[in-house]
Amino acid sequence: MKGYNYLLEFLWFCSTYYTRFLQKEVDGTRQLSGEIDDFKKRFELLGPLGMPEVEDLKNEAVSQAWQLQRALDRTKEIKFQKDEEDVDIAKEEKLHTTSDWFFDIQGKLKEIVNPYLGQ
């Protein structure tokens, strides 16, 4: 159950990070990078879960979080190089797609974990 809670918290954190980034509630991507590392460590401490789908989801979530971090860093570079609000549309779309992935998986997490709860 701890793995479920860790995943749920991490998915929420990542799904809201872009919005908080735009509202300047978070400064850059350091907090995101730290959260990724903390999430991986918490899962490692749980040991083998015996839940392949959950393990795969955890790995995919980490991969998506690193993509979010890179996309946010690139957006900052573009804004610095160009005028304030002139952001490359493809990069902006990548940020939305990645954030949406986290939100969508949050809704499906219980369904993914449910088969293991009866064991």
Residue 97 CA neighbour count, 13 Å, CB half: 9
Question: What confidence tens digit (pLDDT) does each residue in 34-90 have?
Answer: 999 999 999 999 988 888 999 999 999 999 999 999 988 887 654 544 554 555 666
Phi, psi of 48 (to 5 degrees): -65, 130
Global pTM reads 0.84
The per-residue pLDDT for 3 is 87
**What is the count of structural domains for the chain?**
1
Structural domain harbouring 60: 2-117
Question: What confidence tens digit (pLDDT) does each residue in 2-38 have?
Answer: 889 999 999 999 999 999 998 989 888 999 999 999 9
C-beta of residue 32 within 8 angstroms of C-beta of residue 69:
yes
Cα–Cα distances (Å) from 8 to 4, 51, 52, 84, 114, in that order, read 6, 16, 17, 34, 14
